[in-house]
Amino acid sequence: MPMIRVEMFEGRTIEQKRNLVKAVTECFIETCGGKPDQVHVIVDELSQENWGVGGELFADK
């Protein structure tokens, strides 16, 4: 069972997340084969105050 994790900043609509899950699943099936009902997509939404790069929080940029 493939598991694909997407980490992104919060703020997308549920419709955007539906479209993302559908597109990621379709792309995986086209590229690697398998059945859509076996592909798990997990969307983790984080606030900008919980994500940093280069020693700096995104919230501080």
Query: Sign of the CA dihedral 11, 20, 42, 56?
Result: negative
36 is catalytic: no
Annotated catalytic residue, options 1, 2, 10, 29 = 2
Q: Are 56 and 45 in contact (CB under 8 A)?
A: no
In the structure encoding, which two tokens stand for residue 18, read together?
A: 């539906």
Q: Which positions are catalytic?
A: 2
